[in-house]
Amino acid sequence: MIAGQSKAGNTFIHLAVLLLVIVWTAPTAGLLISSLREKELLSVSGWWTALTATEQNLVGRAAPPSEQVERDGRYVIAGSLFEEGTTGTVTAFGARIQNPSEFAAGETAELPSGASLTVNTDGSYELSSATPFEGERGQRIFYVAGLPPEFTLANYFEVLRSAGIAQSFINSLTVTVPATIIPVLIAAYAAYALAWMKFPGRAILLSVVVGLLVVPLQMSLIPLLRFYNGVSLFLGVPAKTYLGIWLAHTGFGLPLAIYLLRNYMAGLPREVMESARVDGATDFDIFTKIVLPLSLPALASFAIFQFLWVWNDLLVALVFLGAQNDQLVLTGRLVNLLGSRGGNWEILTASAFITIIVPLIVFLSLQRFLVRGLLAGSVKG
């Protein structure tokens, strides 16, 4: 317990942290569970009911009259409303769609045709009539049944079979990995220079970096695009390339990266740097052998933010890479999928969870460095 902090205050902090964990975890868990459920279940119940039986209004059809048998002077058609391998519990049934729960399971209902209908809780039914049944199709039976929990991977298979999903996944990785590594490398060198190297204009340069943090991306996007297109035209190279989007994400991410890493490096022990200089180490030696290993938490913290930002980006990708089918990133592909399948929630939930699998792996792999990297250097400057 922190000195001077009461037990009640400590308990409150733990409860607040627990609440935040639940708030952030519940939507992810709900998305995963929804992506594994059948379409019919998604439309009638929420993901939190996935582990309990779900009541649904269903419709079945009795066997055709050709399967009737004569028993004790009456004509009988018997069977089950559930398909083979499917289980459930029928609670009510009816002969009209307007009232599917008119009769309780196990009761015998008199139909307008003169026949009688009995539906049991296990889904078995029996149609009985004093006269032979006629026609080619069986009697429709409306019923209310509680279906047990059921999960499937069919939604993911359908998404992965969709045209272009695999290519877009590779495109997103091609964009995200270099757009994360490049600004981290550049910012690490710049942060060390601003933290430990003395040169004219260092304070002004640091102020400019801090000022760039408040510049909205949308404000600089068009000028940067025009400049890049002008350079591409001058050099005679295509404008819509991976190099362009790497440079764009690098430019947008550098101010935060430099500021975060500079604060961390400035808080490292001065004695270690001075001892290394006394032993004859150059700035490059100090940077590569001392500062970089000690700055791993800060590097990982920014890498997490940059990776998540680039992976989930759509605007910059469309502007600098385009919407061509062979270069479309995963977020753009899913927008197209949403446009054509706006009502297929089972497909959309599976698609959404596919997009967050990679960020989740990255975050869980580096999360132990996150808090250390963010808090370090917040006191010393």
Quote the CA–CA distance of 322 and 309 in Å, as a whole number: 18
pLDDT of residue 119: 93
Domain layout of the chain by residue ranges: 7-49, 54-147, 157-375
Per residue in 197-224, is it b (16+ CB within 10 Å) or e — as a string?
eeeeeeeeebeebeebeeeeeeeebeeb
Q: What tens-digit pLDDT sequence spans the chain (381 residues)?
A: 444 556 776 788 888 888 888 887 888 888 888 888 877 777 767 778 777 777 788 888 899 998 999 888 899 999 998 887 677 889 899 888 888 888 999 999 988 888 899 999 988 999 999 889 888 888 889 999 887 777 888 888 877 777 678 888 889 999 999 999 999 999 999 999 998 888 888 889 888 888 888 888 777 888 888 888 887 777 776 778 888 889 889 988 999 899 989 988 888 888 888 888 888 888 888 898 889 888 888 888 888 889 989 998 888 888 888 778 788 888 888 777 765 555 667 777 888 888 888 888 887 877 776 655 555 544 444
Going by CATH, does the domain composed of 157-375 fall within 1.10.3720.10? Answer: yes
- Encoded amino acid at 50, one letter: A
Quote the CA–CA distance of 87 and 291 in Å, as a whole number: 63
Distance between the two ends of the chain, CA-based, in angstroms?
Answer: 27
pLDDT of residue 381: 41
Q: What is the pTM of this model?
A: 0.69
Quote the CA–CA distance of 266 and 94 in Å, as a whole number: 76
pLDDT of residue 379: 44
Do the beta carbons of residue 345 and residue 34 sit within 8 Å?
yes
